[in-house]
Structure 1
Amino acid sequence: MPARLKPAAAGDVAAALARVDAGTSERADLRLLTKHFLALLETRAPGRSVEVRVPPYAAVQVIEGVRHTRGTPPAVIETDAATWIALATGRLAWADAVEDARVRASGERTDLTPYLPLP
């Protein structure tokens, strides 16, 4: 079983967000922020009923409900790193991301509105 994701240091997150805002981010910044915000989501919405995927960086299972153990989970959310970071920081609303097809969500409990933005 893969190790749980861990939040990054506050200074590293601030620096990576500054580079994203300035348009000078690198792949390492996207990786750090994606994993950081997925780790925060795991803490805020514990459970295993919904899989949140941000390829190629990470995926987590969150939200209380029926536990998923094998194969394709019944509830999946998938998005790119830039969209995930915008959602996690409150720069993009969940409904807008879904409407603009920046997020693909299928199955029960796939509305992350109650959990976003992340601290």
Structure 2
Amino acid sequence: MPARLREADPAAVSSARARLGAGDATPDDVRLLVKHAMAVLQRRAPGGAVEVRVPPYSAVQVIGGTTHKRGTPPAVVEMDADTWLALAFGDLAWSDAVSTGRVVASGERSDLSEHLPLVPPLV
């Protein structure tokens, strides 16, 4: 089971998000923003029914319901970092991400649309 993530310092999130918006984000900025957004999702949608994966940065279990202990969970959502950040910040709709193949979602409760975007506020 993925560990509970800690949310980042709001000032660090703000700075990294500004650099991302300006097209100057470093890999460390992307990592910080991905992990922070995953931690916010984990706090807002606690549970273990769905595993959300943003390789290579993070994976969290969210949403109440069935909880798995070993192996592949019953519901998995996977996407790249750019897609995750666009969803988290409200720059991309869940339905558009799924229909264009930017998100691969399978299993019961794998629709995250009611939990996204995470802004406002992300912190």
Taking structure 1 as the reference length, what is the TM-score of the superposition?
0.96
Moved more, 21-30 or 54-63: 21-30
C-alpha displacement at 1:69, in angstroms? 0.8
The aligned runs of 1:84-99 (5 Å cut-off) are 84-99=84-99
Amino acid aligned to 1:63: I
| Alpha-carbon distance in 1 for matches of 2:2, 2:48 | 14
- Provide the secondary structure at the position in 2 that maps to 1:77: strand
* 1:2 Cα offset (Å): 5.8
**2:10 counterpart of 1:10:** yes
Q: Which residue of 2 aligns with 1:48?
A: 48
Q: 1:64 to 1:2 in 2, by over 3 A?
A: closer
User: Which consecutive residues of structure 1, in runs of 5 or more, have no partner in the other structure?
Assistant: none
Runs of 4+ in 1 over 2 A off after TM superposition: none
Percent of pairs with identical residues: 62
Task: Specify the code of the residue in structure 1 equivalent to 2:107.
Answer: G
Q: Which amino acid aligns with 2:61?
A: Q
Structure 2 gap segments, 5+ residues each: none
Determine the C-alpha separation between the residues in 1 that align with 2:99 and 2:87.
13
User: Partner of 1:79 in structure 2?
Assistant: 79
Amino acid at match of 1:99: S
Quick one: distance in 1 between partners of 2:68 and 2:19?
36
Which residue of the partner structure matches residue 114 of structure 2? 114
* Cα RMSD (Å): 1.1
Distance apart, 1:3 and its partner CA: 4.2
CA distance in 2, matches of 1:100, 1:20: 23
Which digits, 9 at most, give the CA deviation of each residue in 1:57-98, with x for residues without a partner?
A: 010000001101111111000001111011011111100100
